[in-house]
Amino acid sequence: MTSRVSRLVLAAVLAGSIPALAAANDPGRPYAPDRDGRPAPVTPVYTPAPPPAYAPPAPAPYRADWRERRGHELRWRERELAQVRTDLARLDAERADFHAHNAYRPGLLRKYDRGYFARRAELARREHELERVAWR
């Protein structure tokens, strides 16, 4: 069985190479030299023009006031951080006041605490973001 398959494959390869062999020996082929010594026709080669050379942009001038701008940025962060800490203290005071007035209503306290913990987590996340940026 293997010999039959290998013979069929060999026959297919040979049959496929016959047109290529005939084309290689064709004297009328435009890109091959003819058998009688005539030179092959030459096709012009297109070479594109080189791209124009551009000068790189000049570097930015040195700014000596970068420390002042950085200081302003730090002051802004410190103000935001102080505001967040003030909001946290106010929220804790509101919770203490609410617990003092509604100590006998545990269902209402649990309901209030769900909202309290969500607000406190948001403020704590904001505080952490502001502190983390200052350490970069």
Per-residue b/e over 4-43, b at no fewer than 16 CB within 10 Å?
Answer: eeeeeeeeeeeeeeeeeeeeeeeeeeeeeeeeeeeeeeee
Residue type, 81: L
Domain membership of residue 81 (yes or no) is: yes
Domain membership of residue 104 (yes or no) is: yes
Domain membership of residue 126 (yes or no) is: yes
Domain membership of residue 115 (yes or no) is: yes
Domain membership of residue 99 (yes or no) is: yes
The domain of 95 spans: 71-134
Number of domains in the chain: 1
pLDDT digits (tens, 9 = 90+) for 84-100: 999 999 999 999 999 99
Note if the pTM is more than 0.75.
no
pLDDT of residue 69: 56
* CA pair distance 126, 10, nearest whole angstrom: 76
CA-CA-CA-CA dihedral for 78, 81, 86, 87, to nearest 10: 150
User: Mean of the per-residue pLDDT values for the chain?
Assistant: 78
pLDDT of residue 50: 78
Domain membership of residue 57 (yes or no) is: no
pLDDT digits (tens, 9 = 90+) for 27-70: 655 555 555 666 666 666 777 777 778 777 887 777 666 555 55
